Amino acid sequence: MDTTPAFTDDEFLEAFLTCRLPPSAFNHRNHLRVAWIHLQRFPLDEAIERACAGIARYAAHLGVPHRYHRTMTEALIRLMAGAGASDPSVSFEDFLARAPAFSGAWRTLIDAHYSPDLLARSDARYRFLSPDRLALPS
């Protein structure tokens, strides 16, 4: 269950970037929201860098840097962009409704592109590795 207080996107992003969200907010849904906000506001490459840096910083702030995985995070952001998350006419809730796999069986999205062996590599946690199965949307 998400216990994050109801925030506007601006309030949420500011609280996230300043590490003022409660530890319970370090969850998949809020990672998606961080990515969606960045995709709404920045070109893809900048959105990826900003979102990944923020999630890594928040994980370190919480004392759980091992929970951050750069390859999976960047892959999900690229897949979100390919699914229309950067469309300014689509709210976060509408995006999740149109693309439910991101909030449900998101791991199957990743598994279509990456083998378990590649994702298990230690360097996949700290730098983006290209998929070894199916190319990501460009």
**The predicted structure's pLDDT at residue 6:** 84
Does the structure show a pLDDT above 80 at 28? Answer: yes
| Dihedral sign, Cα of residue 42, residue 43, residue 44, residue 49 | negative
Average pLDDT taken over every residue of the chain: 95
Is pTM beyond 0.85 here?
Answer: yes
Q: Which residue has the higher pLDDT, 5 or 34?
A: 34
Given a contact cutoff of 8 angstroms between Cβ atoms, the answer to whether 37 and 13 are in contact is yes
Rounded Cα gap, residues 114 and 133, in angstroms: 6
Does the structure show a pLDDT above 90 at 85? Answer: yes
At 4, is the pLDDT very low, low, confident or very high (cuts 50, 70, 90)? low
Q: Got the DSSP string for 33-100? A: HHHHHHHHHS-HHHHHHHHHHHHHHHHHHTT-GGG--HHHHHHHHHHHHHTTTT-TTS-HHHHHHH-G
**The predicted structure's pLDDT at residue 107:** 96
Rounded Cα gap, residues 81 and 60, in angstroms: 26
Rounded Cα gap, residues 138 and 130, in angstroms: 12
